[in-house]
Amino acid sequence: MSITIHNIEILLIEDNPDDAGLVIRALKKSNLANNLVHLSDGAEALDFIFAKGPYADRNVEDRPNVILLDIKMPKVDGFQVLRTIREDDRTKSIPVVMMTSSREEQDIVESYKLGVNSYVVKPVGFENFAKAVSDLGLYWLLVNQAPQ
């Protein structure tokens, strides 16, 4: 598989297709999903971010503006994805938002210890969820000033 996506704004790493669909719909509603890539497991996400495996012809310098990351995923969990992103000079400054259903204090603490920029618990109900995702997208894409 060859992918030549440039100017990726949002990288969504979410294994639950229903949650991913809700995030994408909410971002589309706010006109923020034009340059979105959705990946459904941590191993694929690391291949994509570091331009390996099926994404080897992608330029690793084409970094997303923000990564929306779930914790509990198959193959490689969100903690390991975050740890790997933060350990590499090419990717450590990418804003990462942990977007999960976990309210566990240990998950929150671990996320911040690993360098997450924000921890958001997925709200129940589409309207609340859509508003939270829209607010996240607006903040990280339009308000926040990140390094180039």
In a domain, 1, yes or no: no
In a domain, 97, yes or no: yes
Token pair 């923000």: residue = 66
Amino acid at 99: M
Domain presence at residue 110: yes
Which tokens belong to 40? 């459904």
Is the pTM for the entire model greater than 0.95?
Answer: no
* Structural domain contains residue 5: no
pLDDT per residue as tens digits for the range 48-58 = 999 999 999 98
| pLDDT tens figures, 62-79 | 888 899 999 999 899 999
Distance CA 1, CA 124 (A): 36
Residue 33, number of CB atoms within 10 A of its CB: 19
Write out the residue range of the structural domain in which residue 26 sits: 10-142
Note whether 133 and 23 are within 8 A (CB): yes
Domains: count for the chain = 1
Whether 120 is in a domain gets the answer: yes
Domain assignment present for residue 2? The answer is no
Give a yes or no: residue 3 inside a domain.
Answer: no
Rounded distance between C-alpha atoms, residue 102 and residue 44, angstroms: 22
- Cα distance between residue 15 and residue 140, in whole Å: 22
- Return the CATH number at 122: 3.40.50.2300
- Print the SS3 string covering 57-75: CCCCCCCCCEEEECCCCCC
Whether 92 maps to a domain, the answer reads yes
The predicted structure's pLDDT at residue 14: 95
* pLDDT reading at 1 higher than 80: no
Q: Give φ, ψ of 114 to 5 degrees.
A: -85, -5
With contact defined as beta carbons under 8 Å apart, do 87 and 49 qualify? no
Please name which of 148, 73, 82, 141 lies closest in space to residue 111, comparing C-alpha atoms: 82
Q: What secondary structure letter does DSSP report for 37?
A: E
